[in-house]
Structures are given as structure tokens and as C-alpha cells.
Chains A and B, each alone.
Chain A
């Protein structure tokens, strides 16, 4: 974060606000919410969840010890603040606008798991937003401590069930039946989508499909009938006449939600055009791939990076090599299917890889109120990584996306502390020619690349893959630490 004063990261909850100051994160809690929050956080009920790694840890601070620079951006005044928490930062926060369908599903499962744990302790979540879940590598963590409340003893329904459907179930439903990747929906709809939005995407016959009729068609029809109904009773939910019954009914409601979510678990679809890139042999022969692997491994062994950004990660072959060498990896690609594949493999092998659906040529901007609720991708990534992989990606940026080479190199320099491993592909390469579609990019010669690279980097090594038009460059920023 580049701010000198406090930066507000949340504003919608009147009970509290999250603020960043440099690398520190503070949560201000309004005095009206202080007694409950203090009793929850000081007691032992949430300790197990924190110890299991489900909740982001916290420490309670004295408000008087906070830096003065924090308060100008705070919505809760110093005299209204009853409690202050400090949280460790999750290494690389991400948002639903960047998640593969598999990650949204995992966040939904995690939310229900947490809700069940809380249910057993007479607590619940007052909302069910995917923005309350952060991924630490591939492990989800819950970050909104103010969402945890005492559960009304007789309440048999979950007040946040509607939000859970909007934010987790419906986007996955749209993905399953309409091929609409969830991350794109969250760009347009902060709080998920309603059933009627999916209804509008379906043809007449599809609306009668058994798995869509009760989830989409019937709710939409019911909703149309509701313009004559204005009853606050509806929002009270089902109030039971005994706590035992309420426990049973709420447990059943959670079971049904989980069953609906599980039916929508993303499964491998017809492979996208990039899914079989590595094994297709289109760009590399086996021996060239082995040669490339040896170069990457040599760089990893020599530099021992703590963190790597893999741009255009495809199915994560080189991300996994970096993770195996001990690096924390953020792997980005614009194809949600390949990102989902990286996610599945990383979780299966318990590797510290955070795969994100990010188009490097159009990275996630600041979103939300004043564009400040979600930090832009580049701001989160700036100087965050020891190393950067730009493998078989540069030609896509310069040709397909039309980004000037010096711009790409300037951005690469902004993101890394120590080195970039860049694969240069000459205009004679068949993949290069395929992307040109008749346009003239013959000026992107190796000499031109090296001239541009030297403006910002030391060229530490160059190795051309035998029998190919591809050269791997190890670049170190002129301003390297």
C-alpha cells in the first residue's frame, strides 16, 4: 500500500471499519457493537476457529495508541470508537472478481463450514459475502469478525441465506448452465446475482430443466407475484417455539444449502483453447520443454525466491516448480478454466499457489465505492515479488493486446524486487506469426528487445532453446536491491 495516511478498506458496516496504515491493518469498532465483540473475542468461543486457521487472528489494542494519521479517513470518530483490533495482513488479498469457479465454490463451502461451527456455539454469520473470505495461498480464511453475532435462540432460518444464494449458488448455477464465469458476474454485480438474472439468460425450454426450475424459474415467478405483498413478516424468517426446534430447522436449512452448492461443484468442462497448450506440442518439442524446465529450475535454485508472480501461468507448470522450490506464488491468467486447473492441482498437492483470473493487459482496477473497496491488482502486486515469470506471454501482450514492449518491461520492473525471467519469441516463430494475422510486427527483433530491456534491466543471461526461435532472458532491474 502506498498511502501515507490511513486508507479505508471497508465502509458498509455501521458497526465497524477496516483501515490500513502502511503494512498494518486496524479494525475500528463502534461503541454500540463493542460489548458483544469484546465478549466474543475475549472469551474462548472463537479461539478454536482462530487456532484452526479459519479466522484471521486479531489482537485488541488501546485506541489511544493508534497513530493520528489513521483518523482522517476513519468513518467512526475517535470518541465513538469502543474497541480497536489489529489483524495481520493476508499476504496477497484477492477478490471474487479474480476467482476461478472452483475458488468461489471453495469459499462457499468454507462459509457453510464456518456457519456450522458457529451454529454449534449459538452464534451465526449475519451476512454471507464472498468478500469476507480471503485466500492465503489456497487456504480460505474468514476476515470479517464483525459478521459473527449471537444467534437468536428461536430463529429457524438464516438471515443471510438469500445473500448466500446470490453470491455463491446463483453464480455457479449461471456457470454450469449459461457458461458465464463467476468472476465476470462480480465485476458487474458486487453482491452476486438474483435468480431473475439467470432466468433472463435461459431459453424457454431450459427454464423447465429440473435443476433450474426450483432454483431459478419458480423464484422468478414468485417474485413477480410479490408486487402486491408488502409484509415485514417475510423478513422475520421462521421463528420457532423452542430452541431445540430452531436448532433442528436451521441445521436442515444449512444441509439443503450445502447440497445445492455441492450439486454445482465445478467439474472439468470441454477444455478451453489453452487447457492443452503444454501437452499439445504446438510451441515446444519435448526436448525443448525439458530444456526450458532446466533453465527455470536453474534460476530457482540460484536465486531461491521467496515469492514469484507467474504471468500467463496457463495450467501452472512453472508455478508448481516455483512453489516446489519454496516460493509463494501468485499465478495469473485470463482463462478461468486454466486458473481452475491450477487451483485444483495446487490444493491437491497443498502447494502455496494463489491462482487468479487476471488479464495482465487489463488487470483488476479499484472497484466499489470511490473505487476504493477493492485495491487494484497492480497496487497489491507492486514490488511484492522477488521474481516474475513472463514465459510464452510477452508476444500475447505485444501482438494480441497491442501493448508496446517498453510498457511491458516497465510494468515488469515495477512489480519485482530481484529478477524477471522473460521468454522472447522472434517474429519467425510460427506461434508469433499466427498471432500477427497479417499485421507487421517484424520490428520486434531480438536486438530491439535487448535494447529496450537494457533501459531498465541488466541482462544476466540469455539461452536460446535448441532448434527454436525462443530465448529465455534473466533480467535484473537496474535499481535491484
Chain B
């Protein structure tokens, strides 16, 4: 969450560059945003897998209950 805060702050802050700032932090922030988005995607995939598994179980149990 801290990392996300930094991402948001950096996204809106803008002033002169300094020599002691890591020149790769802009790219690092974008990498973090990408990873964060992938984390959200992970939950969607989990939910999808749970739903698919639920209906698969239901279908299987319906098939087993038929004579």
C-alpha cells in the first residue's frame, strides 16, 4: 500500500530533477503499477476459477444423481 501511495504522489508531483535521485525510479514506478495491476488480475482469476469449479461440481453432482 505504501508503494501505491508513492506511485500516486509521484504521478502528480512535478518539479526540477536532482542529481542524487535514482534516474530509474520513473521506470520502477511503472513496473510497480504493472505488478499492482497483475495482483488485481490474480484475484479476478481466482474468482473465475472458483466460479468455474462451483459449476463444474454442480454439473458433476447432477450427473451422478441421475439414475
A residues apposed to B, CB below 8 Å: 156-157, 161-162, 165-166, 194-196, 214, 218-229, 231, 233-238, 240, 245, 248-249, 252-253, 256
21 CB contacts below 8 A, A to B, read A157-B31, A162-B28, A196-B26, A220-B26, A222-B10, A223-B26, A224-B26, A225-B13, A226-B13, A226-B21, A228-B15, A234-B6, A234-B28, A234-B32, A236-B3, A237-B35, A238-B32, A238-B36, A249-B35, A252-B34, A253-B31
B residues with a Cβ closer than 8 A to A are 2-3, 5-6, 9-18, 21, 23-32, 34-36, 38-39, 41-42, 45
Residue numbers in A under 8 Å from B3 (CB-CB)? 233-234, 236-238
Given contacts A252-B41, A253-B35, contact A229 B28 (CB under 8 A): no
**Are B39 and A222 in touch, CB under 8 angstroms?**
no
Q: Which of B5, B17, B28, B35 has the most CB of A within 10 A?
A: B35
In the complex, what distance in Å separates the CA atom of A234 from the CA atom of B25?
Answer: 8
The contact of A226 among B25, B31, B36, by CB within 8 Å, is: B25
Of the listed residues A214, A221, A223, the one surrounded by the most CB atoms of chain B closer than 10 A to its CB is A223
| A238–B39 CB distance below 8 A | yes
Return the 7 tightest CB-CB contacts between A and B, nearest first.
A219-B26, A223-B26, A222-B26, A252-B38, A225-B13, A233-B2, A194-B23
Determine whether the beta carbon of B29 is less than 8 Å from that of A234: yes
User: Complex formed: what's the CA distance from A119 to B24 in Å?
Assistant: 24
A253 to B25, CA, bound (A): 17
Question: Contact check: which of B15, B27, B42 meets A225 at CB < 8 Å?
Answer: B15
Our pick among B9, B25, B31 for the contact of A223 (Cβ within 8 Å) is B25
Bound: A62/B36 CA distance, A: 46
Best-buried of A214, A228, A236 by chain B (most CB within 10 Å): A228
In the complex, what residues of B have CB within 8 A of residue A224's CB?
14-17, 26
Distance between Cα atoms of A221 and B17 in the complex (Å): 10
Kindly list chain A residues whose C-beta atoms are within 8 Å of the C-beta of B18.
227
User: Are A225 and B28 in touch, CB under 8 angstroms?
Assistant: no
Tally the A-B contacts, defined by beta carbons under 8 Å: 119
> What is the minimal beta-carbon distance from B41 to any residue of chain A, in angstroms?
7
Query: Cβ of B26 and Cβ of A228 under 8 Å apart?
Result: no
Residues of A within 8 A of B9 (CB): 228-229
Q: How far is the CA of A214 from the CA of B34 in the complex (A)?
A: 12
Task: Determine the chain A residues whose CB is within 8 A of the CB of B25 once the complex forms.
Answer: 222-223, 226, 229, 234
Question: Out of B10, B27, B31, B36, which one reaches A194, CB within 8 Å?
Answer: B27
Q: Which residues of B contact A223 (CB under 8 A)?
A: 17, 21, 23-26
Q: How far, in whole Å, are A273 and B47 apart by their CA atoms in the complex?
A: 58
User: Bound state CA distance, A282 and B12, in angstroms?
Assistant: 59
- Where chain A touches its partner, the secondary structure class is helix
Instruction: Say yes or no: A229-B34 contact (C-beta < 8 A), given A166-B24, A222-B29.
Output: no
Which B residues are in CB contact (< 8 Å) with A228?
9, 13, 15
Given contacts A194-B24, A234-B3, 16 further A-B contacts (CB under 8 A): A156-B38, A157-B31, A195-B26, A196-B23, A196-B26, A222-B29, A223-B17, A224-B17, A227-B15, A245-B39, A245-B42, A248-B38, A248-B45, A252-B41, A253-B34, A253-B35
- Nearest to A192 among chain B residues (CB) is B24
The CA of A157 and the CA of B38, in the complex, are separated in Å by: 10
Q: Would you call B30 and A156 a contact (CB within 8 A)? A: no
Cα distance, A162 to B9, chains bound together (Å): 20
CB-defined contacts of A226 to chain B, threshold 8 Å: 10, 13, 21, 25-26, 29
Complex Cα gap A380–B25 (Å): 38
Residues of A within 8 A of B31 (CB): 157, 161-162, 253
Q: How far is it, in angstroms, between the C-alpha of A240 and the C-alpha of B3 when the chains are bound?
A: 12
- Contact A225 to B12, CB < 8 A, known contacts A157-B32, A162-B28, A231-B6: yes
B12 — nearest CB in chain A belongs to which residue? A225
Inter-chain contact A162/B15, CB cutoff 8 Å: no
Take A223-B25, A228-B15, A253-B38 as given contacts and tell me if A214 and B32 are in contact as well, using a CB distance cutoff of 8 Å: no
Q: Is the CB of B35 within 8 A of A157?
A: yes
- Shortest Cβ distance from residue A119 to the other chain B in the assembled complex, whole angstroms: 14
| Most B-side CB within 10 Å, residue of A222, A224, A236 | A222
Contacts of A162 in B (CB 8 A): 24, 27-28, 31
Which of the residues A156, A196, A235 comes within 8 Å of B35, measured between beta carbons? A156
Instruction: Report A-chain residues with C-beta under 8 Å of the C-beta of B17.
Output: 196, 223-224, 227
Chain B residues in 8 Å Cβ range of A165? 24, 27
In the complex, residue of chain B having the shortest beta-carbon distance to the beta carbon of A236: B3
Closest to B35 in A: A238
